[in-house]
């Protein structure tokens, strides 16, 4: 298979390593403009290696060279800064290339309608979003518990994700990272959009409406985007209602990533960092502990995408770009709100 990777930052290199370890013969092509990010290992530590030689990568100056050189690309991975994603995805899909886009799908509503039209037209082209948490056993377990109605009617949901921006990529100054820059589609809402996406996923049978939301920069971080957001949603289904509160920030240490769901028959407490899930029902308490290699989630994700291409299988709609559109639209609505 001929694999194209747009951008070889940390996530682009992660996909490169993981695809290379899958069963099959892969030829790698890459469009890489700045060559800023050094070679990294699975823990994002700098290593001394030549990526081009190690993976036999053929570098292209731009996407047009694919057509000029008549290169058949079987799958493309969009790993550039967020503000380039939609435009690049449109080009790839128009040229009948199976397309995987890292989160978020974009950084504005611009060209979303064009992308929707292309997705409706190019139904035979595989497309997928990089929301690897849906391959996380913790999220899968919560989804299972909710479908079983383990804690009965839902009343409250609390979603929290706080992590310091300087800890994302230890090899670079956070101030130049895409996460810190408005012009590249940064800010805590888009960078931590995983939480928005799994809220939509876990509660897909509910109508989700924004009650209120506020985002701003409260820290002394040298960034020109929001570093915190607090949003309240109302989840409604028939005569049933629940309130969901989401808090995201760029400055918390030690990092915290948790989900708490309170129902009439008990509650679910999940810690996505420790891998623990506690289920409380009446006076009983059950604990599930998930030990897994974080990178395996990413590997399972790309394996799913590659397998669907090889075997002609349809991408599940919970993973595709239309799902990515839903998450981006909700994120952008939060970006627009201040109170």
Among 115, 86, 123, smallest CA distance to 102 is for 86
Percent with pLDDT over 70 in the chain: 99
Residue with tokens 């760029």: 250
**What does the pLDDT read at residue 274?**
95
**What does the pLDDT read at residue 123?**
95
Which range among 93-97, 180-184, 194-198 shows the weakest confidence by mean pLDDT? 180-184
Strands (E), the chain: 2-6, 27-31, 58-60, 75-78, 99-102, 127-130, 154-162, 207-216, 228-237, 240-249, 256-263, 266-271, 276-281, 284-289
Average pLDDT over residues 98-122: 97
Average pLDDT over residues 177-203: 96
Compute the distance between CA of residue 298 and CA of residue 293 in angstroms, rounded to an integer.
Answer: 10
pLDDT digits (tens, 9 = 90+) for 49-90: 999 999 999 999 999 999 999 999 999 999 999 999 999 999
Q: Are the C-beta atoms of 207 and 195 separated by less than 8 Å?
A: no
Angle at 83 between CA 79 and CA 85, to 5 degrees: 45
Q: How confident is the model at residue 34 (pLDDT cuts 50, 70, 90)?
A: confident
46 in the Ramachandran plot: left (φ > 0), alpha (ψ -120 to 50) or beta? beta
**What does the pLDDT read at residue 283?**
86
pLDDT digits (tens, 9 = 90+) for 233-245: 999 998 899 999 9
**What does the pLDDT read at residue 338?**
62
The 3-state DSSP class for residue 66 equals helix
pLDDT at 48 over 70: yes
**What does the pLDDT read at residue 282?**
85
Residue 117 neighbours by CB under 8 Å, 6+ apart? none
Compute the distance between CA of residue 99 and CA of residue 284 in angstroms, rounded to an integer.
Answer: 46
pLDDT at 301 over 80: yes
pLDDT digits (tens, 9 = 90+) for 22-32: 988 999 999 99
Q: How confident is the model at residue 311 (pLDDT cuts 50, 70, 90)?
A: very high
Q: What is the mean pLDDT of the chain?
A: 96
From residue 112, alpha-carbon distances to 90, 142, 260, 276, 321 in Å are: 10, 31, 33, 38, 11
Among 27, 33, 15, 34, smallest CA distance to 58 is for 27
pLDDT at 225 over 70: yes
pLDDT at 339 over 60: no
Q: Are the C-beta atoms of 81 and 87 separated by less than 8 Å?
A: no
Compute the distance between CA of residue 127 and CA of residue 317 in angstroms, rounded to an integer.
Answer: 10
């Amino acid at each position: 298979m001929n694999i194209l990777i747009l951008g070889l930052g940390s996530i682009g290199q992660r996909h490169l390593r993981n695809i290379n370890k899958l069963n099959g013969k892969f030829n790698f092509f890459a469009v890489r403009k700045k060559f800023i990010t050094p070679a990294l290992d699975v823990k994002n530590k700098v290593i001394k290696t030549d990526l081009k030689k190690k993976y036999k990568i053929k570098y292209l100056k731009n996407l047009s060279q694919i057509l000029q050189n008549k290169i058949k690309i079987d799958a493309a991975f969009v790993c550039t800064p967020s503000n380039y994603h939609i435009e690049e995805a449109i080009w790839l899909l128009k040229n009948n290339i199976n397309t995987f886009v890292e989160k978020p799908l974009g950084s504005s509503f611009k060209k979303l309608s064009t992308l929707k039209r292309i997705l409706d037209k190019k139904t035979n082209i595989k497309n997928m979003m990089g929301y690897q948490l849906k391959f996380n056993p913790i999220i899968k377990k919560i989804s299972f518990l909710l479908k079983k109605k383990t804690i009965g009617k839902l009343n409250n949901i609390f979603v929290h994700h706080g992590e310091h921006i300087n800890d994302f990529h230890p090899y670079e100054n956070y101030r130049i990272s895409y996460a810190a820059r408005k012009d590249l589609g940064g800010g805590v809402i888009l960078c931590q959009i995983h939480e928005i996406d799994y809220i939509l996923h876990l509660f897909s049978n509910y109508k989700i409406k924004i009650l209120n939301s506020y985002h701003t920069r409260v820290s002394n971080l040298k960034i020109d985007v929001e570093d915190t957001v607090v949003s309240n949603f109302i989840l409604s289904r028939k005569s049933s209602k629940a309130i969901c509160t989401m808090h995201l920030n760029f400055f918390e240490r030690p990092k915290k990533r948790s989900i708490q769901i309170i129902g009439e028959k008990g509650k679910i407490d999940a810690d996505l960092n420790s891998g623990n899930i506690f289920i409380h029902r009446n006076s009983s308490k059950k604990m599930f502990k998930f030990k897994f290699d974080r990178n395996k989630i990413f590997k399972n994700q790309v394996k799913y995408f590659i397998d669907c291409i090889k075997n002609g299988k349809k991408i599940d709609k919970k993973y595709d770009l239309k799902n990515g559109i839903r998450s981006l639209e909700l994120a952008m609505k939060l970006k627009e709100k201040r109170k």
